[in-house]
């Protein structure tokens, strides 16, 4: 649903500036990226990919989240993320399938 929302709302979820919806979603997207799993969520979603690029570059994201994570924590996420990639891919596929079925 985020891809559709971003295609009509502007560069951020609710318009021209980052808001609470964006701020709420950023830590989840960041965790997926740090685990090396972001591609599973943003594949074939150019608006979501563009949103994440903007979010990563937003100074408040960097100072409020990214800069607070230690190198050891990043390394741990990069080490363990690939171990759960298949499970995460399965969950994402199931949710998307359920969402498509509910829309019809």
pTM, rounded to two decimals: 0.82
The secondary structure of the chain in percent helix, strand, coil, rounded to multiples of 5, reads 80, 0, 20
State pLDDT tens for residues 7-65: 987 799 998 999 999 999 999 999 999 999 999 999 999 999 999 999 999 999 989 88
Q: Map tokens 């949103």 to a residue.
A: 51
Give domain limits for the chain.
Answer: 35-104
- Which runs of consecutive H residues, i.e. helices, occur in 35-84? 38-42, 46-57, 59-64, 71-80
Q: How confident is the model at residue 100 (pLDDT cuts 50, 70, 90)?
A: confident
Q: What is the mean pLDDT of residues 62-72?
A: 91
- CA pair distance 56, 77, nearest whole angstrom: 17
* Better-scored residue on pLDDT, 89 or 103: 89
Q: Which residues pair with 84 in a beta bridge?
A: none
């Amino acid at each position: 649903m985020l891809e559709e929302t971003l295609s009509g709302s502007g560069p951020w979820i609710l318009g021209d500036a980052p808001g609470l919806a964006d701020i709420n979603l950023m830590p989840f997207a960041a965790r997926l990226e740090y685990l090396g799993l972001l591609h599973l969520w943003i594949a074939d979603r150019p608006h979501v990919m563009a949103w994440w690029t903007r979010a990563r570059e937003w100074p408040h994201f960097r100072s409020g989240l990214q800069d607070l994570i230690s190198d050891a924590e990043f390394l741990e996420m990069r080490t363990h993320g690939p171990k759960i990639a298949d499970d995460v891919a399965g969950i994402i596929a199931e949710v998307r399938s359920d969402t498509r079925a509910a829309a019809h």
